[in-house]
Amino acid sequence: MKILGIETSCDETAAAVVEDGTRILSSQIASQVEIHARYGGVVPEVASRQHLLSIIPVIEMAMAEAGVSWQELSGIAVTVGPGLAGSLLVGVNVAKALALSQGLPLIGVNHLEAHIYANWLGNGSIDFPVVCLIVSGGHSDLVLMSGHGDYAVLGRTRDDAAGEAFDKAARILGLGYPGGPAIERAARGGAASIPLPRAWLKGSDDFSFSGVKTALLRLVEAGEVPSVADGAASFQAAVIDVLVTKTMAAARGRRAKKVLLSGGVASNGLLREQMVKHSPLPVLVPPPVLCTDNAAMVAACGYYRLRAGGTDGLDLDVVPSLKLA
């Protein structure tokens, strides 16, 4: 079964064709990062206008790269939320038009669920239960997945998402946008020598990242951060310490067979390395290009929903604040 995936929840316009939920036949991403960089963050109105310009060429490129005809597709999967309403609307309406005109099943997909399914790309089957850490610009969720489509949220952030914290810390340190990659690059030349607080929230699987960001701001204001590189390395180490320790604690005792990482922050090299080093369980993490927003993960997720009979009608609508469970 070949599924066309469409993703427009934030600032990447993406389309991909995936076979049987695992084999990527094509994956196209038109990034808007340079357009938003001059504003220091994503401007929703600009993002939706840009999606309108890019979506048809991106879909055409994905179909051409895969070398498949519309008749060979089994369905069209599209992100319905969470995300920016105006951006989501572009993808959902194009998906509806294509499903109607080509007579194909329409499958609305949760973006967070899609991030988890990035782990199925290039991997056959994965035994359940697994503990998933989704760390993106808008979310930091720890999830117990007991089967396809079967999720229990163990914990989530009480304030900033991990990616959001990286973006804010980068701004504090005068680094560019997006902040995560900028911090990771800057940290390579520094030492994690500045003591920054870790919010352990004992007895809970929740996260909190606003305290570490504010602590960094106060130290920068007081002139107590010797270099941008040390500030970046110390901040990165503090956030990753919490993510690794709390993910391990959540996986322990829940009989998880594996730990799955996903979301933009999972492309961070130190997080990947530390999670593998400290985990007694096998850790799966998609290649960096499948951690950040893409449509292959949407198509993979759509395949498993379609197999379970989860199709949608043409009244499908966007849900900007959609939750996982």
Residue 138 interface partner, choices Zn ion, ligand KG4, none, CB cut-off 5-8 Å depending on type: ligand KG4
Structure tokens at 174: 């005068």
Decide whether 166 or 303 has the Cβ nearer to ligand KG4.
166
Nearest CA to 294 out of 5, 91, 86 is that of 5
Is residue 117 a contact residue for ligand KG4 (CB under 6 A)? no
- In the list 21, 108, 137, 190, the residue contacting ligand KG4 (rule: CB under 6 A) is 137
76 touches 6 (CB < 8 A): yes
Output phi, psi for 137, to 5 deg: -70, -30
Is residue 136 a contact residue for Zn ion (CB under 5 A)? yes
Is residue 180 a contact residue for ligand KG4 (CB under 6 A)? yes
Nearest CA to 86 out of 40, 117, 55, 118 is that of 55
CB 15, min distance to ligand KG4, A: 16
CA distance 149 to 59: 26
Is residue 113 a contact residue for ligand KG4 (CB under 6 A)? no
What is the Cβ-side half-sphere exposure of residue 203, based on CA atoms within 13 angstroms? 0
Is residue 264 a contact residue for ligand KG4 (CB under 6 A)? yes
DSSP letter (8 states) at residue 267? G
- Interface of this chain with ligand KG4, residues 273 to 312, rule: CB under 6 A: 292-293
**Binding-site residue total for ligand KG4 (CB under 6 A)?**
20
Decide whether 136 or 268 has the Cβ nearer to Zn ion.
136
Helix residue ranges, H only, 67-178: 85-102, 111-117, 162-172
CB 222, min distance to ligand KG4, A: 25
Nearest CA to 208 out of 240, 160, 143 is that of 160
Structure tokens at 219: 């130290």
Per DSSP, the three-state class of 196 is coil
Q: Any residues with CB less than 8 A from the CB of 49 and at least 6 apart, and which? A: none
- Interface of this chain with ligand KG4, residues 216 to 245, rule: CB under 6 A: none
Decide whether 75 or 264 has the Cβ nearer to ligand KG4.
264
Residue 247 interface partner, choices Zn ion, ligand KG4, none, CB cut-off 5-8 Å depending on type: none
Decide whether 98 or 296 has the Cβ nearer to ligand KG4.
296
Spell out, one character per residue from 254 to 293, where the chain touches Zn ion: x when CB under 5 A holds, - when not. ---------------------------------------x
CB 180, min distance to ligand KG4, A: 2
CB 232, min distance to ligand KG4, A: 10
Output phi, psi for 313, to 5 deg: -90, 180
Is residue 181 a contact residue for ligand KG4 (CB under 6 A)? yes
CA distance 44 to 42: 6
CA distance 82 to 294: 14
**Binding-site residue total for Zn ion (CB under 5 A)?**
2
Is residue 110 a contact residue for Zn ion (CB under 5 A)? no
Q: Determine the straight-line distance between the first and last CA of the chain, rounded to whole angstroms.
A: 27
Residues that bind ligand KG4 (CB under 6 A): 10, 136-138, 163-164, 166-167, 178-181, 184, 263-265, 267-268, 292-293
Residues that bind Zn ion (CB under 5 A): 136, 293
